[in-house]
Structure 1
């Protein structure tokens, strides 16, 4: 019997990645040939996850996909359209000198992090991530036979997203980025180095952002800043609840944002200060929710940064320079409960102007159903991103089914009038390519469709009346009943920690 080779640990993978980065550095010297290196992934079968291309699997997957899902026959025509966006994904990556496209079309982001010596877990500032490459500690409910994913989750058990919040000191530009000074998009400016007032320029993609921030494309900043800049994209261009030209020193805007499902973002919270630079004359309150948020707040100790969350105080604040509009950002962590709930705005006495979720997986995590139902009922603007266009389309098609399943119980529990009209009226769920996506195709061996962190935006609920298509009925605008009371009347909506 052959002995099985032991699975490499996260530390083994990190060492191999750093070795690959050194090989790349060597080949980039005069006389070298970087093109001879290949950091692509091992091709794996989409149907069974093992590293072979089995014709039997191709045949089986034609009609029925993994875990009983629709087969390739159902998706074939749409996938052909999705593949047309491959050039867009690759063009976005090619604008950076570190933007290598491997032979399989993927982008080996861990190699770039290792190249800049910022691949690792604790002690790597804003770049800290479990296992060196995996953002999620908790996987969706759907099963997977991919051993590498299971391995990375096991290795990450001791890692705590937001661990630096347990200390008493915030990261600085230098200790957070851990890059050369010239590569850092600073938040603390020397006199005369702050960016131009954002209302005077058009910041619409990575090209315009790098120019506005006056940092070279050599900087790998986009590998982290796709989180706050995607939030900017959702607020400004998808939900249209804010804008760089919207306010003035005489007329400021208060913007309350709920950010749901935060994990790796807890390691880089100061980077969301970019929103204060991008949105002049705006006072932004951001409240983060999620299992990782609840976990880190529960570990708060005296004098730690995160203890402020238990005192209902912002754990981080920032004010942009006066020349940039003197905008403010206040970040709160809601650690009392693991999940966002329709009752929370009432409990917090703070109804959000917008709700966002990045790389959401609306149908992979059942907790999203309550957000979907609540926002449809009271028209709270809500937008998400998904890795793949195909995924976003599946989420979009599932939303009417989620509403239809909930409707009988909510109707019998007392929903009527305006709420019922809002809840049942047909809506559009527009999906779009995100110009602030993380550069580069994810290194997945079984996926060739464009699949990128924060790759595609989807508006779930907007406050623009133009979205309405033939309302079910005009409805009578009677005083709306409290959705939270309706949810409490049905066992279907009993949520963790709130009943």
Structure 2
């Protein structure tokens, strides 16, 4: 509770509405998104309960755009290559030339949390000078399955690195099990004449591919690793203490010894997860519980806890 002010601290012009006013029920997620003009629009459809159920399968596609003008979204490549590690939303927005009234952080927390997890796992800025290929096993995806276009931002965050991401979880539709898609561009803006509609001129050295697997990680692992062995495992908003199905997955991760980064909605959930993990591994966390600078800036609505809760709020790892 002593960290409430810090948890609610974001640089955006809409921060008070997205944090305190949502928690105090002055705003709802729907009313907030509606004010921004993105309620149920394109890839924003899962950001409130209105659009989170019975989504048609065609939403599991990578061509959904931002539904925003290009001045408010990173629809094209950066003007400069990253020369230092990004440490805050302010630094990211400045680097990408986006004004702080843009809501794109509400979706970009997925690839930016992945970026932060990579830095934590490998302890250095990851570029094509340190590696030319990265395979990530991404466990338990839900909303992000319908927001895959935003992972195109990895072109900017990891220039020159071939990134392969396996999305693994029971929420992956069975019809899409084994499907692979390639992200050849950034998520598009809404302007018809913008240059973002032209695919990025890339070769295999900066390719981003996503593959989908329906089922639990411990059941899918052998099939997953026939083609790619993982360099990193990421489990966003894992809820380890809440689901017994995590135990065989934790046991598998202990055996294969692959760096693994978890996130959760609040610090208490992370500490409960740490207790579960250490009961299986017999060792303390390799990466202690810490605040994620790229957490979702819109508070969880109607949380059962008085604690501020945000998607991808805290990170920890083994």
User: What TM-score do the two structures reach when normalised by structure 1?
Assistant: 0.55
- CA shift digits 1:265-323 (9 cap, x unpaired): 1111121121221122311110111122143416xxxxxxxxxx44xxx3123378689
Q: Does 1:126 align with 2:43?
A: yes
Q: 377-386 or 207-216: which moved more?
A: 377-386
TM-aligned CA deviation for residue 331 of structure 1: 1.0
Counterpart of 1:243 in structure 2 is 125
What is aligned with 2:70?
181
Offset of 1:195 from its aligned partner? 2.9
The corresponding residue for 1:97 is: 13
Alignment of structure 1 residues 30-41 onto 2, 5 Å: none
Helix, strand or coil: the match of 2:276?
A: helix
Q: Residue 450 of structure 1 aligns with which residue?
A: 308
Runs of at least 4 residues of structure 1 off by over 6 A?
319-323
Partner of 2:159: 280
Cα separation, 1, equivalents of 2:22 and 2:168 = 39
**Structure 1 gap segments, 5+ residues each:** 1-82, 135-151, 299-308, 404-422, 462-499
Query: Contact between 1:434 and 1:456, CA under 8 Å: does it hold in 2?
Result: yes
Please state if 1:330 is matched with 2:188.
Answer: no
Partner SS, residue 399 of structure 1: helix
Q: Which has the larger radius of gyration?
A: 1
Report the Cα distance in structure 2 between the residues aligned to 1:432 and 1:356, rounded to whole angstroms.
15
Alignment of 1:371-386 (within 5 A): 371-386=249-264
Once the two structures are superposed, residues 450-494 of structure 1 have per-residue CA deviations (whole angstroms, 9 ceiling, x without a partner) of: 3111110011x2xxxxxxxxxxxxxxxxxxxxxxxxxxxxxxxxx
Whole-angstrom distance in 2 between the partners of 1:427 and 1:215: 36
Deviations for 1:153-205, whole angstroms, at most 9, x for unmatched residues? xx955324x53247xxx52xxx5111122112114x5xxxx33111x244111
Flag structure 2 segments of 5+ consecutive residues without an equivalent. 187-199
Query: CA, structure 1 residues 205+263, in 2 after alignment: closer, same or farther (shift >3 Å)?
Result: same
- Per-residue CA distance 1:116-164 (angstroms, 9 max, x = gap): 22222xxx211122xx613xxxxxxxxxxxxxxxxx7xx955324x532
SS of alignment partner, residue 453 of structure 1:
coil
Aligned twin of 1:163: 58
Q: Per-residue deviation at 1:434?
A: 0.5
Aligned counterpart, 1:85 = 3
Contact 1:341 1:370 in 2 (8 A): yes
Which residue of 65, 77, 80 corresponds with 1:196? 80
1:295 aligned residue: 174
Tell me the number of residue pairs that the alignment of Structure 1 and Structure 2 aligns: 299
Cα root mean square deviation, aligned = 2.9
Match of 1:441 among 282, 299, 302: 299
Q: Secondary structure at the match of 2:163?
A: strand
Q: Which structure's residues are more often helix, by fraction?
A: 1
Q: Does 1:207 align with 2:90?
A: yes
Offset, 1:445: 5.8
DSSP-derived class of the 2:312 partner: strand
CA distance in 1, matches of 2:154, 2:267: 26
How far has the Cα of 1:343 moved from its partner? 5.8
Give TM-score, length-normalised by structure 2.
Answer: 0.83
Check conservation: 2:60, 2:148, Cα contact below 8 A.
no
